[in-house]
Amino acid sequence: MSNYKMETKCIQSGYTPKNGEPRVLPIYQSTTFKYEDSDAMGRLFDLEDSGYFYTRLQNPTNDAVAAKICDMEGGVAAMLTSSGQAANFYAIMNIAEAGDHIVCSSAVYGGTYNLYAHTIRKMGISATFIDPDCSEEELDAAFQENTKAVVGETIANPALTVLDIEKFAKAAHAHGVPLIIDNTFATPINCRPFEWGADIVTHSTTKYMDGHASCVGGCIVDSGNFDWDAHAEKFPGLTTPDMTYHGLVYTERFGKGAFITKATAQMMRDLGSIQAPQNAFLLNIGLETLHLRMPRHCENALKAAEYLKNHEKVAWVSCPMLEGDKYYDLAQKYMPNGTCGVITFGVRGGREACVKMMDSLKMIAIVTHVADARSCVLHPASHTHRQMNEQELIEAGVQPDLIRFSVGIENIDDIISDLEQALEQV
């Protein structure tokens, strides 16, 4: 980890050119890398030397950007993935296998819910979903003998519940398993989950990190704090020989780098969801201004939330930065400088009124996206979460009249005028 302040990390971390090298991180647009002799190449395949050989596993552009995000989060190692979904999939598959179990907050992104409730179940890994506001006793009761990880989102998309990271970390560690936090909405600008006890952080870099809605991507960062060897019987993949690399043991050979090395050497080798170097390059440009954009997103979101809260046609508003919000205190604790630009609200008159309001917006677009520079809206019950029944929607913290409003960094007066004219149409 560098000693730079966050603003400097956003710009300088990950890539330091040497004499005569490009000032800007180059795109290594190459599937493969050349070596002088066959023995040098062989050592790479045995993980004896570190180096690049094939972009399905690693690429220098990606690694520089991953190193920047790693520095921003305060971790020891990181990797980019092709999407946030791939990051959340790999984070689990790297430590769990058929017969295992995870504990997951019920307030998570719809795609994550599908992945953990349905897709990994078909691979033999079951999940218990738990209300993030549960008591310590209830959380404790969710664990099983075969539990391998606890998962939650710093600020849930779209429920906007703020996770009590310390409570979840304490429970995870009492049961000898890591806490994995999806920090997509907060970004390391507003929250660094490792400082509160999380062990692994994942990101959909598609959102604020890219920030311009130009490329899908993900990232996994390891804090290096979880002691896999102390719970060796639970994590044989990391602590016993990997026959595909001549019996190498990840924790023995790579120490704090074990988790990310295994995810690269096994998951990427076999499943291959690597981020394109072009996308990593664009992501890096986004990261350079993340520290400028996040405060403006938060400022605009709070003003929009205050406006909506005082509007007679608006039934309710949820924004953890609003005093009186259910998650205000947790947000103040974990994100005192602001949460994110996403807020939610309901229009009086239910589903129909919500759709009418959204269809009347002129600047604010209806898109299946969130957390970029442009303001946008989405109705989860008709869009991202339409596969869920009413009960599942409510468990995921998504009321049927919920509009997810991703407040951009346009001038707030223009954002509010658009809301105003659209609410007049209802």
Ligand X SMILES: *Cc1c(COP(=O)(O)O)cnc(C)c1O
Contact residues: ligand X, CB under 6 A: 83-85, 88, 109, 111-112, 153, 157, 182, 184-185, 204, 206-207, 216, 218
CB closer to ligand X out of 62 and 88: 88
Q: Encoding tokens for residue 410?
A: 């346009």
Q: How far apart are CB 134 and ligand X at their closest, in Å?
A: 20
CB closer to ligand X out of 237 and 380: 380
d(CA 157, CA 154): 9
Residue nearest to ligand X (CB): 84
CB closer to ligand X out of 139 and 201: 201
DSSP helix, strand, coil percent of the chain (3-state; round to 5):
40, 15, 45
Q: How far apart are CB 269 and ligand X at their closest, in Å?
A: 21
Contact 145, 97 (CB under 8 A): no
350, containing H or E segment: helix 350-360
CB closer to ligand X out of 90 and 254: 90
Q: How far apart are CB 284 and ligand X at their closest, in Å?
A: 16
Q: How far apart are CB 156 and ligand X at their closest, in Å?
A: 7
Torsion angle of the four alpha carbons 235, 220, 28, 208, in this order, in degrees rounded to the nearest 10: 170
CB closer to ligand X out of 215 and 321: 215
CB closer to ligand X out of 311 and 369: 369
CA distances to 185, 348, 371 from 367, rounded to whole Å, are 17, 22, 11
Q: Which of 313, 304, 306 is nearest to 413 (CA)?
A: 304
CB closer to ligand X out of 237 and 397: 397
Q: Which of 199, 392, 373, 386 is nearest to 294 (CA)?
A: 373
Q: How far apart are CB 342 and ligand X at their closest, in Å?
A: 9
Q: How far apart are CB 414 and ligand X at their closest, in Å?
A: 25
Q: How far apart are CB 384 and ligand X at their closest, in Å?
A: 9
Which residues, at least 6 apart from 311, have a Cβ–Cβ distance to it below 8 Å?
A: 423
Contact 190, 162 (CB under 8 A): no
d(CA 264, CA 271): 10
The number of residues making up the chain comes to 426
